[in-house]
Amino acid sequence: MPSAELELEEFRRSLRHRLRAMTVDGRLAIDVANQLLIAIVEPPLRRQWTVDVTMTFRCDVTAGQAHDAAEAAETMVANAIDDAGPLALELLWESRTSSDPIPGDLDRNNP
């Protein structure tokens, strides 16, 4: 690599390091730092994000009434997540919405 290219590469690394330090210290907004990095064709600084993901789980449970079936399904999902081990996620039950449970045939294995 010619000397000018090495100097430019070192400048980019140095600038990235300094911008990150300024952002961590609260002296520079991350959006401003990322605009400067993008301008010199460097990837933006990574940031932490909190993302809400809504998922629908469908499972078969045995219960006598619809509300018991919904509670059993919630318990099944929570247990499955707990059994998965330590995960970097939080299970929030703040808005429990269970679609109307659909009754099936008699469970002959669980009277």
Give the pLDDT confidence score for residue 97 in this predicted structure. 61
Give the pLDDT confidence score for residue 37 in this predicted structure. 94
- 100, two tokens: 């109307």
92 contacts 86 by C-beta, under 8 angstroms: no
**pLDDT over 70 at 96, yes or no:** no
Residues constituting the chain: 111
13 contacts 37 by C-beta, under 8 angstroms: no
pLDDT digits (tens, 9 = 90+) for 5-16: 999 999 999 999
pLDDT digits (tens, 9 = 90+) for 63-80: 988 888 888 888 888 888
pLDDT digits (tens, 9 = 90+) for 17-67: 999 999 999 999 999 999 999 999 899 999 888 887 777 888 888 898 888
φ/ψ of 33, rounded to 5, equals -60, -45
